[in-house]
Amino acid sequence: MTSRRSQIPYWGIPAAYAVVAVVAGLTLPRLEHHFLPRLQSGISPAAALAILSSVGSGMIALTGIVFALAFVMVQFSATAYSPRLVLWLSRDPVVWHSVGIFSATFLYSLAAIAWIDRPGSGGVPLLSSWLVIALLLLSVGMFIALIQRISLLQIQRMLGFTADHGRRVIDQMYPALEAAASTVNPAELETRPLRYILQHTGSPQTFQGLDVRALLALSSASGAVVVLDSAVGDTLVEGTVMARVLGGNGALDKGALRHAFLLGDERTFDQDPKYAIRLLVDIAIRALSPAVNDPTTAVQALDQIEDLLRRLGRRRLEVQGLRDRSGSLRVTVQLPTWDDFLTLAFDEIRFYGATSVQVMRRMKALVADLIEDLPPERRPSLLYWKRRLDETIARSFGSEEEKQEASVEDRQGLGIPRTHLARER
Look up residue 115 and give its DSSP letter.
T
Asked whether 2 and 262 are in contact (CB, 8 A), the reply is: no
Highest mean pLDDT: which of 138-142, 243-247, 301-305, 420-424?
Answer: 301-305
Q: Report the C-alpha gap between 335 and 339 in whole angstroms.
A: 11
Mean pLDDT confidence for 75-86? 69
What percent of the chain stands above pLDDT 90? 41
The ranges assigned to domains in the chain are: 12-153, 276-315+337-406
Per-residue pLDDT at 165: 92
Instruction: Give the largest CA-CA distance in the chain.
Output: 97
What sign for the dihedral angle of Cα 25, 26, 27, 31?
positive
The gap from C-alpha 137 to its chain's centroid, in whole angstroms, comes to 31
Model pLDDT for residues 261-308, shown as the tens digit of each residue: 999 888 888 889 899 999 999 999 999 998 888 999 999 999 999 999
Per-residue pLDDT at 421 exceeds 50: no
**Residues paired with residue 243 on neighbouring β-strands, in sequence order:** 198, 228
225: β partners: 246
DSSP 178: T
Direct distance between the N- and C-terminal alpha carbons of the chain, in angstroms, rounded to an integer? 59
Asked whether 98 and 113 are in contact (CB, 8 A), the reply is no
> Residue 8: helix, strand or coil by DSSP?
coil
pLDDT at residue 312 is higher than 90: yes
* Range from 34-43, 288-297, 352-361 carrying the lowest mean pLDDT: 34-43
Closest by alpha carbon to 55, among 126, 146, 139, 143?
139
Q: Whole-model pTM?
A: 0.78
Which of 290, 313, 287 is closest to 299 using CA atoms? 287
**315 dihedral zone (left: phi>0; alpha: psi -120 to 50; beta):** beta
Give 234's DSSP letter.
P
User: How would DSSP label each residue in 76-100?
Assistant: HHHHHT-GGGHHHHHT-HHHHHHHH
Average pLDDT, the chain: 85
Parallel, antiparallel, or unpaired for β 194-199 and 321-323? Answer: unpaired
pLDDT of 309 strictly over 90: yes
Task: Provide the 3-class DSSP secondary structure of residue 352.
Answer: helix
Q: 8-12, 69-73, 185-189, 360-364 — which one is most confidently predicted on average?
A: 360-364
**What tens digit of pLDDT does each residue of 195-221 get?**
889 999 999 999 999 998 899 889 988
What's the pLDDT tens digit per position in 113-160? 877 766 556 566 777 778 888 998 998 898 888 777 776 677 888 899
* Angstrom distance (rounded) from CA 297 to CA 287: 6
pLDDT category at 9 given cuts 50, 70, 90 is confident
